[in-house]
């Protein structure tokens, strides 16, 4: 695990965890293998900043999707990621509404 991974947008990070918990798949262009700035898709929306932390902390893992496109890579939560997502989403919901709104505004 890398200690230097920063989560620049905690709201987006939590949203990604929520969607991944529901079984949605994160999709990333195959050509972007080493480019952490490449945009990903999750539940028909763009993931701008959450991918590097999800990957580096071992919360997601690539899997073979025989029904998918050859030009794309597909990721879902690992077992560790599922446990983390459960805890993080519960903690997020316990935060006061104004605090969650402020985090969404400033990252």
Q: Each residue of 55-96: pLDDT tens digit? A: 999 999 999 999 988 889 999 999 999 999 999 999 999 999
Angle, CA 44 vertex, CA 53 and CA 66 arms, to 5°? 85
Which one is the CATH code of 10-106: 2.60.40, 1.10.287, 1.10.10, 1.10.1740? Answer: 1.10.10
pLDDT: is 19 or 4 the higher one? 19
Distance CA 14, CA 28 (A): 18
Most confident range (mean pLDDT) of 8-12, 22-26, 31-35 is 22-26
**pLDDT, tens digit, for every residue of 12-31?**
999 999 999 999 999 998 87
Distance CA 12, CA 57 (A): 16
Partnered with residue 1 across adjacent β-strands are: none
Residue 4 pLDDT class (50, 70, 90 cuts) = low
39 pLDDT higher than 70: yes
pTM for this model (two decimals): 0.84
């Amino acid at each position: 695990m890398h200690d230097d991974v920063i989560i620049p947008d905690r709201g987006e990070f939590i949203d990604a965890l929520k969607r991944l918990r529901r079984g949605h798949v994160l999709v990333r262009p195959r050509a972007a293998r080493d480019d952490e700035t490449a945009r990903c898709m999750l539940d028909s929306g763009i993931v701008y900043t959450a991918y590097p932390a999800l990957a580096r902390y071992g919360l997601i893992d690539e899997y073979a999707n025989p029904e998918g496109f050859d030009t794309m890579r597909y990721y879902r939560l690992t077992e560790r990621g599922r446990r983390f997502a459960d805890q993080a989403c519960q903690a997020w919901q316990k935060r006061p509404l104004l605090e969650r709104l402020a985090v969404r505004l400033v990252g």
